[in-house]
Amino acid sequence: MEPYGTHYLEERNLVARWPQPIPAIVSLVFTLVIFYATWWIFQDPRGWMRMYTPYVGYMYTRWWLIVLIWMVYIFNYWPLKRSWLEKTNPVIKGIILTAVSYGVLYVLIKGFFEGLLGNFGLAYFNPEQLMKLPGVTEFFAIEYAALACLMFAAIASWLSPAWVVACEEAPWQDLKQPGKGVSILMMTFFLSTLIYFMTMHSHMGILYYPWQYFTSIAPPYWEKFANTVSGNFHVSWIMCCTVTVWMVETIWGRYPFNLIKRNWLRRLVAFFGIIAIAFAMHFFLYFAQELTWGPAIRGTRRAFAPDWRWLHVGEMAVFFLVPALFITFYCNNWPKKFSMPVNVLIRTVVTVVAAILLYIFYYKTSHNFLGTQKGFSHPQQFPMIPTIWLINIWLVHHWFMDNWPGWKMVPKTADERATEHEKRTQEIQDVRWNPALGWGLGTGVVAGVIVYFITIGLLPVFYKAIDVIK
């Protein structure tokens, strides 16, 4: 039987039509044009559909990301055949697969969340049910329902790829599609539901007066620790988990977890190691705001409010994901000529610098061309929406269109696949424990501590020196 798209991404050979950096520049310009055109049609408050309310646009943006992950990472393009993926024109393939993703997205939002859950489970998933409550206007009913939906999406966008990247599809890795895809989808959806009720449901329960004491934990259990009753505290670390998963998968090439030989141990360490890295990012980025703007003050609003600062942690984290994906998709995960740890270090440094520059550029200019509002903490300023929208465009371009027109897809031969596998194996073997690696790790720890203290010392100085928003 002809296989589906299993291993299609790994086994395709994207050949650049021109020398670098021309293909990368062409792809960037091409995707930015599509980004802005679609942003104007679907999201921009000055455009046609005006879904940037902001939560309605955010909900569809986030769930579209998850649908793309489901189609490619979990279901491996099922039910499409491998030959169709290899032979179909990339433009036609991109249009068809994008249309399919929108169809799944619409059924998911309108059918499952609003229709099923909103009518027979939790009223706050359906705007029409919320409008039956006294004092809830149509606008807030729509926004609250969208907020609940996207909070669920935040969890699913972490766990869906994490089961593939960290757990390596176990224990269903040997199943054929669609059995494997359905099994992973059910597991990750179950875990997403469980975590949603423990992290986000209480946030929804306190949006209404009086607080829903008998249907949710009110005030939430994280109130004293996070200095807020808002679920943004959980949005923050979950968003950091999402970013960390993709950094591990892209610029890190699953390093250092791929050094662990035992399958069960590697998968366990990778899953919880990603969470540990995410929590380190989560608390450091919050601490960075304390250094920059001063302590958060509960009861205030905007940039000094703890709930907004937790949200902003997630927003800052997404800025790291944009350059990381660009390096992987359009720069062939440059560089590759050094050892695995050195390559990962260089890519990470480039990603961090690019993320900082993108952060500054976004807040300086986004209000001029995206229809957002000027400022860091304005209620109409949600950088996660345009950044994830751009990421979605890149995923469509890279996964569905094979980076057309800058690249063309040529299937790898069996010999090429074997050579590539042998090369990856050798790279891992080269990083096995030896005295030199021990000295390197020790030096890295010392350097990390020094960089940390330099960062917390210079961050306020840099912030005062750079006038991000005039």
Closest CA relative to residue 388, chosen from 35, 24, 42, 56: 35
- Which residues lie below 8 Å from residue 273, measured CB to CB, with a gap of 6+? 166, 257
pLDDT band at 421 (very low <50, low <70, confident <90, very high): low
Is 53 within 8 Å of 46 (Cβ atoms)?
no
Query: If pLDDT is split at 50, 70 and 90, which confidence band does 429 have?
Result: low
Mean pLDDT computed over every residue of the chain: 91
Q: What is the pLDDT of residue 436?
A: 66
Is the model's pLDDT at 1 over the cut of 60? Answer: no
Each residue of 78-120: pLDDT tens digit?
999 988 999 999 999 999 999 999 999 999 999 999 999 999 9
The answer, yes or no, to whether residue 244 has pLDDT greater than 70, is: yes
**With bands split at pLDDT 50, 70 and 90, how would you rate the model's confidence at 322?**
very high
Average pLDDT on 190-216 reads 91
- At 443-462, the pLDDT tens digits run 777 888 888 888 888 888 87
Please write the tens of the pLDDT for every residue from 9-25. 888 899 999 999 999 99
In which element (H, E) is residue 157 found?
Answer: helix 138-165
Distance CA 284, CA 31 (A): 32
At residue 428, the pLDDT reads 67
Which two three-digit tokens encode residue 410? Answer: 């040529």
Mean pLDDT of 415-424: 73
What are phi and psi for residue 75, nearest 5 degrees? -100, 0
What is the average per-residue pLDDT within 322-334? 97
Identify each DSSP E strand in 329-431 by its residue range.
407-411
- Do residues 157 and 195 lie in contact, with contact meaning Cβ atoms separated by under 8 Å? no
Tell how far CA 180 is from the center of its chain. 23
- The pLDDT of residue 358 is 96
Select the more confidently predicted residue: 375 or 437: 375
Give the rounded percent of residues in the chain with a pLDDT score beyond 90. Answer: 73
DSSP string, 187-246: HHHHHHHHHHHHHTHHHHHTSSSS--TTTS-SS-TTHHHHTSSSTHHHHHHHHHHHHHHH
Element (H, E) at 248: helix 232-249
Residues ≥6 apart with Cβ < 8 Å to 179: 172
Residue 411 φ then ψ, to 5°: -60, 140
The tens digit of pLDDT for each residue in 115-146 reads 999 999 999 999 999 999 888 899 999 999 99
Nearest to 386 by CA among 462, 322, 452, 464: 322
What's the one-letter identity of residue 22? Answer: I
Rounded to whole angstroms, the Cα distance separating 76 from 399 reads 11
Count other C-beta atoms under 10 Å from residue 349's C-beta: 10
Evaluate if residue 441 carries a pLDDT over 90. no
In this structure, the number of other CB atoms found within 10 A of the CB of residue 188 comes to 24
Q: Specify the DSSP class assigned to residue 304.
A: G
Q: Determine phi and psi for 121, rounding to 5 degrees.
A: -135, -80
- pLDDT bucket at 49, cuts 50 / 70 / 90: very high
Mind listing the pLDDT tens digit for each residue in 156-195? 999 999 999 999 999 999 999 999 999 999 999 999 999 9
Asked if 184 contacts 74 with a C-beta cutoff of 8 angstroms, the reply is yes
Q: Token digits for 53?
A: 């309310």
pTM: 0.93
Nearest alpha carbon to residue 105 among 53, 42, 166, 165: 42
Give the pLDDT of residue 430.
67
Contacts of residue 298, defined as CB under 8 A and 6 or more positions apart, other chains included, come to 227, 228, 305, 306
